[in-house]
Amino acid sequence: MDAPTELHADVKAERHVPRLFLDTKTGAVELELEPPVVVGSAQGATLRIDLPTVSRVHAELSLRTDGLWVRDLESTNGTFVQGVRIREARLDDGAVLRLGTATIRVRYAPPAIDALWPDSHYRGLIGRSNVMRRMFRRLARASASEATVLVQGETGTGKELVARAIHDESARRDGPFVVVDCAALTESLVESELFGHLRGSFTGASDTRAGAIELAHGGTVFLDEIAELPLSMQPKLLRVLESRTVRRIGARDHTPIDVRFVAATHRDLAQMAAAGTFREDLYFRLAVLPIQVPSLRERLEDLELLASHFTCGAAVDPVLLEEARRRAWPGNVRELRNFLERANALGNDDVVSHASTTSPDSQPSDAVPFVALDVPFKQLAARWNDELERRYLRGLLDRHGGNVSAVARAAELDRSYVHRLMRKHGLTS
């Protein structure tokens, strides 16, 4: 394919599948891609742009409740929206995104009729919000495929339930579903746990044992917390994914396997691949079908449905639900379940009283926000800085009725710089 000169994105705000038109010297080529999409010049990138100005892992496009977002992955030449270099920004209708010398133009179209799953449940998962029903539709497509799946989401969102749902709806449903918690294995044990070993192959190997991948033959192996897999083991897993064979420790021969791989992580694997702390080639091999599990903050409209589920259909006190709507939920659905269990054990009044003194909304304005300790410092600082800019500008715009000149005076900033920040964060006057 000739080098791309321009990209056009017809992105549906309420649909999970954007339409991308890649302009080449021979004409436009339409690409069907579903966010999250990693853009870069690497062979395994979801959207590969073979230009010297585009980094191997350049940026990521993701669909959120308020539209399409782009996040720079520490690229060399930067990611620009409307001419402003950004770390992360929402792409509004008509936005122009530049990656190196490649250009993406964003257009929003009406939602597709078949974008949402028709029910409020999918196997063990529940949710009537659009963001969940879009995910259910994507899970149905993933279940019908044999491709490797990477499930990403914050702690407590239910990533293992998602993996189990994919298996249970797939043609492998009658086969085994084998779970490997990569975070719980020491570096000395992980190879044996994954690939197995022969008797006497190392100290303590008193018998021959099949590894998790062999045990999942005919079914699915779920590699939970894949980001914690030691770098020394990553080439070996990559070889298994590519060859579809496994070799036990101490063995000479490779054993063919018939296994579907599903991996999961709460960490930013694309960022880790860009930074070199996770193998880029393994990341692309795992992220053939990426699934993003929404945080509870993105699906607050599901609170009542989830509460009813966790209380086995019992009525939930409206005061308790109101308190739940005010919370930040860093532990997501798992934290909600614990919250409701405490209410059942201690009584609603005690739980609400305790929550009112500890919830983020009741903290003093100088309180330290929730810190994600699994995120690199530079990335976390960049997120906080962007969030500070976004909230500060939005607050001033609300206070001054959208008057940009008044906002510039209040912030003691140049008016043109305020406009640049507004474009960066997708804010309008």
The CATH number, out of the four listed (3.60.20.30, 3.40.50.720, 3.20.20.100, 3.40.50.300), of the domain defined by the range 121-292: 3.40.50.300
* Mean pLDDT of the region 6-19: 43
- Return the pLDDT at 197: 85
- Return the pLDDT at 23: 53
Domain 6-109: give its CATH code.
Answer: 2.60.200.20
- Return the pLDDT at 316: 83
- Return the pLDDT at 342: 84
pTM, rounded to two decimals:
0.72
pLDDT digits (tens, 9 = 90+) for 77-89: 999 999 999 999 9
pLDDT digits (tens, 9 = 90+) for 185-219: 888 889 999 998 898 888 888 898 899 999 999 99
Could you give the C-alpha distances from 179 to 121, 211, 216, 309, in angstroms and in order? Answer: 23, 11, 9, 25
Q: Going by DSSP bridges, is the β-strand pair 125-126/121-122 parallel, antiparallel, or unpaired?
A: antiparallel
Q: Which residues neighbour 135 within 8 Å (Cβ) at sequence distance 6 or greater? A: 16, 127, 162, 291, 292, 293, 294
327 SS3 class: coil
Q: Which residues neighbour 305 within 8 Å (Cβ) at sequence distance 6 or greater? A: 120, 126, 127, 128
Asked if pLDDT for residue 231 goes beyond 90, the answer is: yes
Helix, strand, coil content of the chain in percent (nearest 5): 40, 20, 40
Find the helix or strand (DSSP H, E) in which 313 lies.
Answer: none
Instruction: Name which of 21, 35, 19, 25 is nearest 5 in CA terms.
Output: 25
* Mean pLDDT of the region 364-377: 53
Domain extent listing, the chain: 6-109, 121-292, 296-362, 377-424
Distance CA 37, CA 335 (A): 29
